Structure 1
Amino acid sequence: MLTASGDNRAVVIGAGLGGLASAMRLGAKGYAVTVVDRLDRAGGRGSSITMEGHRFDLGPTIVTMPELFSDLWAACGRDFRSDVDLRPLDTFYEIRWPDGSSFKACADTDRMVEEVRRLSPGDVNGYLRFLKGSEARYRIGFERLGRMPMHKLSQTIRVLPDFARLRADRSILSLAKSLVKDDRLRMALSFHPLFIGGDPSNVTSMYALVGHLEKTFGVHYAIGGVQAIADAMATVVRDQGGTIRLGAEADEILLDQGRARGVRMKTGETLSAPLIVSNADAGHTYAHLLRKSPRTRWTDRRLNRASWSMGLFVWYFGTRGTRQMWRDVGHHTIINGPRYAELLKDIFGRGHLAPDMSLYLHRPSVTDPGVAPEGDDTFYALSPVPHLGWEDPVDWSERRESYRQAVAQVLEAHIPGFQAHLGPSHILTPEDFRTRYLSPNGSGFSIEPRILQSAWFRPHNVSEEAKGLYLAGAGTHPGAGLPGVIASAEVLDSLVPPAPAADVRLAAE
């Protein structure tokens, strides 16, 4: 067989976007990379399914910082824009409230000010102060923390004076309340952490940085969905000489005297390599993949005490002959229920499935006609719900259909008559997130991004449990969301040395 005195083999567990980005960067460093994933398509939570000609993006739908992808492709000697057709959206999303009012977000400050003025003229100055603070938080929270390693406590301590100055101890909802008086605007300025699994009433105000990120870099959609980005990433990995094995599940990370030596697959096969990157959920990595190995920090007890992100109920559905209907419904619509702060308490604080809900409605067919047959539409409606880790968790085998009907009732006010045009339909509940993505507690975004579960306090990109083991993706630093998981591979790139020169020769088995 072939052996190498300079062993440049690497195994990446999980072909999610963080895993694929890690594989690309390892390939660019000269590693011989094998990516394994239990699903049948690359992309992980960013993958898709197709039913009767309707393509459903299962997870993330927008790109908010394309420069991260451009930098990733450039590190591999490629041009991102040549491989992916990325389209900027003029209106990022429309927020709607039960009283019929609405707010359209975009990159233009003057238009945004007019949106604020239309809802609450007295809150314009508060909104402008929010924008200024958003930029300051971006400089510290993303540029200084999000794209740099945080596995040493000293790295976090260095930014504490800035955190104190920017009141990182205050929640983003508390920050919004201090700046604007209108409850609708308070929601519009504070809801963004929900996109990465955080409770706005508990998550640090540093996440106000999203306002600057959206305004500066825009909100984009990839033709073909995020699946198209994942497929393009997989192509780069293969062009580098890497291997991607789908339908192949890792069962255990193997150690030898505290050092990674390979991965045992569910089939019993062993993939030997001195460098392992786990793009699996950090909780699954430590509780299952390292279940037979001693652990010092990320023990089951510590994982059980962690605060996990909320669960998600997502209804994917197609409609027939509706492309010219509902002209007022754009690509992204956020539909608010009658409560905001109290609904957050039900989801994050009580584990209670409330009868009311807020929804994120995705209608990609207005931008990408190819997601559905000609004249048809493709949608998904997402509702934040409690995860499964509560003492009395929701039994989704019983509530699945009744909750779908409740979602449909809310949607009727925005896409009236849609149920008469229904085509294919598919549902994911927290139970499906637990079985499909091996997500602890069926959470949608791994560990919740609270201040004491971020930076040094979050599972590190370089594991302290085994030499040669690294983490990428939503459960590690800097966190969930497309910018977070792509940045996790950039952080990993700064920690992993170039591959050793392989002295390959024939040897007897």
Structure 2
Amino acid sequence: MSTFPMTDPSLPPAPSRRKKALIIGSGFGGLSLGIRLQSLGFDTTILEKMDGPGGRAYQKRTPDGYVFDMGPTVITVPHFIEELFALERNGGRLDQPDYPPHVLTGERVREGESGGPRTRDYVRLVPILPFYRIYFDDGTYFDYDGDPGSTRRQIAALAPEDLAGYERFHRGAQAIFERGFLELGYTHFGDPATMFRVVPDLLRLDAVRTLFSFTSKYFQSPKMRQVFSFETLLIGGNPLSVPAIYAMIHFVEKTWGIHYALGGTGALVRAFVQKFEELGGRIEYGSEVEKVLVTDNRGRPVRAPIGRRVARGVRLRGGEEMHADLVVSNGDWANTYLKRVPRAARLVNTDLRVKAARQSMSLVVVYFGFRDDPARPLDLRHHNIILGPRYEELLTEIFGRKVLGADFSQYLHVPTLTDPSLAPPGHHAAYTLIPVPHHGGGIDWNAEGPKLVDKVLAFLEERGYIPALRERLTHLEFVTPDYFANTLDSHLGNAFGPEPMLAQSAYFRPHNRSEDVRNLYLVGAGAQPGAGTPSVMMSAKMTARLIAEDFGLHPEVRSGGVARAEGQGQ
């Protein structure tokens, strides 16, 4: 139901000033929503505590010539990016098909540039193949490229007993993708009725069992079970507990491929900033938000979580107050409520409820530069998944017991194999990401962080992934869960927001429209639909639709249903 009454379309619009919007945080969610709000006619200011944009996607340039993306490096669904670059000031529309027919039927770009004509005005996207090289502990590997023929050939070589299972998995994952992503992806589950309407379909598709259980139904080989379930780790989800609806990631990547922004993910962030500012938006860096200003209808401070509660603006760390018609948090969901929304204004998102939510795991990320060695060329790919000797046991230690195991798995990103501009001539820039428990495990990262980094570097060298790495090393730094907790202000140092388990998905995931405070909204990894760059951009469109609905814009738009591309299911 709309928070504001819809305007009567038969009446001429009443003259009014432009509505002002404040967005806390300049991550992908905040920037995407800022672009959309500018296109809808709002005057939008993004407040960013750091000295540059991106949030988790912040890009760091070092004095010795290296460029490191601090966060996400996997870009998919370039149509979402193209749609943002095509928006114009005061010309925003939210009732167009989310997946136009040419997007649904087009061939995935395998070489050259991609992303559409407007995207190429701002940033260059190139496809990456294979999507990932997945290394197993015995030295074998699987090149995951989304091509069914290539996939079948590799399964035949590694686990021929699973060929028939792959065909069944492929059909099952495709059905989940078509219903869960194409048809329901933009649905905001703001009430139980919306959720319950889709439950029969999810049960029919077997999408509510865990993802690992779903893959195990089709594959006998431990290697194939890992290949077709690991991807949720890149959005903070434990394959042993996330629902099988996340099998759709396989088809999202297969349909639109994996892409890289030349110059790094930071180049895409800068392109979004450019577009936002072209549309009249403003970003203030070094502006840390301390509190969301919440009053009753008469402008008085709220003293109890009853009656009307309205967001009026924010107070910055230095004491300055900024007022607006609406406030959006692109920050961590838990800390938004625990730290920034007064306790007296929260009836739903209470301290008890927020602290009881399960947060995603955290990360240790090692950023390093090293000299190239033509005599020993790297036998790596742009994206490398290096799995340890244990899978289920390691996941249980990270997510369940919250302890550091004797071994580890990692995601090794070597973008200079595609884009040498990120390092000095004759050098490579890389990062490797190791899933670890969040702060709930009580680990002293000042002590354990350096030890783990040493183990990881020794592993990469001794196992032959990067021969003589420590001898060739020219730059080294790393972050631990302390960075996520302190710099990025994530509750318990989580890296991806609430863990995407079944009990925290759809209606049970934080809502993009606050249930507690009128004119307060959320966007990004902590809100619906969840983490990952495409989901965060979807979150921005969801939140923009809710705001448009609440402020009487485009009354044909509703949060639970939108115009769909011709040929999609009803």
- TM-score of the aligned structures, taking structure 2 as reference length: 0.85
2:466 alignment partner, SS class: coil
Task: Map 1:123-138 to 2 at 5 A.
Answer: 123-138=162-177
**Equivalent of 1:474 in 514, 525, 545:** 525
Match of 1:89 in 2: 128
Deviates more, 1:196-205 or 1:65-74: 65-74
Match of 1:506 in 2: none
Deviation by residue 1:94-126 (Cα, 9 ceiling, x = unmatched): 001111111001132101111111101111111
Match of 2:401 in 1: 350
2:439 alignment partner, SS class: coil
Deviation of the 1:127 alpha carbon: 1.1
1:122 alignment partner, SS class: helix
8 Å Cα contact 1:282-1:459 kept in structure 2: yes
For 1:324 and 1:379, how far apart are their aligned partners in 2?
Answer: 19
**Equivalent of 1:15 in 26, 44, 50:** 26
**Equivalent of 1:42 in 47, 50, 53:** 53
8 Å Cα contact 1:197-1:445 kept in structure 2: yes
Deviation of the 1:324 alpha carbon: 7.1
For 2:371 and 2:378, how far apart are their aligned partners in 1?
Answer: 15
**Equivalent of 1:61 in 56, 73, 95:** 73
Percent sequence identity over matched residues? 39
Match of 2:43 in 1: 32
Alignment pair present for 1:248 and 2:248: no
For 2:197 and 2:65, how far apart are their aligned partners in 1?
Answer: 52
1:389 alignment partner, SS class: helix
1:118 alignment partner, SS class: helix
Alignment pair present for 1:396 and 2:450: no
Deviation of the 1:144 alpha carbon: 3.0
1:496 alignment partner, SS class: helix
For 1:50 and 1:418, how far apart are their aligned partners in 2?
Answer: 21
Q: Which amino acid aligns with 1:10?
A: A
Deviation of the 1:496 alpha carbon: 1.3
Deviation by residue 1:120-178 (Cα, 9 ceiling, x = unmatched): 11111111211111111112222233212111221111111111111222111111111
Q: Which amino acid aligns with 1:399?
A: E
Deviation by residue 1:322-378 (Cα, 9 ceiling, x = unmatched): 477443111011111110000001001101101100010000001111110111000
Match of 2:319 in 1: 268
8 Å Cα contact 1:92-1:219 kept in structure 2: yes
Alignment pair present for 1:361 and 2:412: yes
2:46 alignment partner, SS class: strand
Task: Map 1:367-446 to 2 at 5 A.
Answer: 367-390=418-441, 393-412=442-461, 413=463, 414-446=465-497
Deviation of the 1:399 alpha carbon: 0.8
Alignment pair present for 1:165 and 2:219: no
Shift of the 296–323 alpha-carbon distance from structure 1 to 2, 3 Å rule, reads farther
Q: How many corresponding residue pairs?
A: 496
Deviation of the 1:299 alpha carbon: 0.9
8 Å Cα contact 2:294-2:342 kept in structure 1: no
8 Å Cα contact 1:94-1:333 kept in structure 2: yes
8 Å Cα contact 2:513-2:543 kept in structure 1: yes
1:314 alignment partner, SS class: strand
Match of 1:145 in 2: 184
- TM-score of the aligned structures, taking structure 1 as reference length: 0.95
Match of 2:108 in 1: none
Alignment pair present for 1:206 and 2:224: no
Shift of the 79–307 alpha-carbon distance from structure 1 to 2, 3 Å rule, reads same
For 2:79 and 2:172, how far apart are their aligned partners in 1?
Answer: 22
Deviation by residue 1:429-487 (Cα, 9 ceiling, x = unmatched): 00111011100010110100011101111110111111111100000000001011111
For 2:375 and 2:536, how far apart are their aligned partners in 1?
Answer: 36
For 1:270 and 1:325, how far apart are their aligned partners in 2?
Answer: 58
Alignment pair present for 1:79 and 2:118: yes
1:131 alignment partner, SS class: helix
Match of 2:338 in 1: 287
8 Å Cα contact 1:145-1:478 kept in structure 2: no
Match of 2:301 in 1: none
For 1:469 and 1:80, how far apart are their aligned partners in 2?
Answer: 31
Match of 1:504 in 2: none
1:104 alignment partner, SS class: strand
For 1:48 and 1:442, how far apart are their aligned partners in 2?
Answer: 19
8 Å Cα contact 2:18-2:41 kept in structure 1: no
8 Å Cα contact 1:324-1:375 kept in structure 2: no
Q: Which amino acid aligns with 1:132?
A: R
For 1:186 and 1:91, how far apart are their aligned partners in 2?
Answer: 19
For 2:53 and 2:344, how far apart are their aligned partners in 1?
Answer: 29
8 Å Cα contact 1:7-1:274 kept in structure 2: no
**Consecutive unaligned residues in structure 2, runs of 5 or more:** 1-14, 92-116, 297-308, 554-570
8 Å Cα contact 2:371-2:426 kept in structure 1: yes
For 2:198 and 2:223, how far apart are their aligned partners in 1?
Answer: 32
8 Å Cα contact 2:134-2:227 kept in structure 1: yes
Shift of the 132–324 alpha-carbon distance from structure 1 to 2, 3 Å rule, reads farther
For 1:179 and 1:21, how far apart are their aligned partners in 2?
Answer: 38
Q: Which amino acid aligns with 1:75?
A: L
Q: Which amino acid aligns with 2:436?
A: V
- The root-mean-square deviation of aligned C-alpha atoms, in Å, is 1.6
Deviates more, 1:427-436 or 1:128-137: 128-137
1:53 alignment partner, SS class: coil
**Equivalent of 2:386 in 329, 332, 335:** 335
Alignment pair present for 1:483 and 2:534: yes
Deviation by residue 1:21-43 (Cα, 9 ceiling, x = unmatched): 01000000000011001111111
**Equivalent of 2:543 in 485, 489, 492:** 492
Deviation of the 1:66 alpha carbon: 1.1
Shift of the 322–65 alpha-carbon distance from structure 1 to 2, 3 Å rule, reads farther
Deviation of the 1:255 alpha carbon: 1.2
Shift of the 43–323 alpha-carbon distance from structure 1 to 2, 3 Å rule, reads farther
For 2:318 and 2:343, how far apart are their aligned partners in 1?
Answer: 18
Q: Which amino acid aligns with 2:404?
A: L
Deviates more, 1:5-14 or 1:457-466: 5-14
Match of 1:507 in 2: none
Deviation of the 1:389 alpha carbon: 1.6
**Equivalent of 2:329 in 260, 266, 278:** 278
8 Å Cα contact 2:334-2:355 kept in structure 1: no
For 1:287 and 1:367, how far apart are their aligned partners in 2?
Answer: 42
For 1:142 and 1:500, how far apart are their aligned partners in 2?
Answer: 28
**Equivalent of 1:116 in 145, 155, 172:** 155
For 1:60 and 1:323, how far apart are their aligned partners in 2?
Answer: 29
Q: Which amino acid aligns with 2:187?
A: M
For 1:168 and 1:25, how far apart are their aligned partners in 2?
Answer: 32
Q: Which amino acid aligns with 1:490?
A: K
For 2:124 and 2:136, how far apart are their aligned partners in 1?
Answer: 33
Deviation by residue 1:23-81 (Cα, 9 ceiling, x = unmatched): 00000000001100111111111111112111011011021211111122223379123
**Equivalent of 2:352 in 297, 301, 312:** 301
Q: Which amino acid aligns with 1:61?
A: T
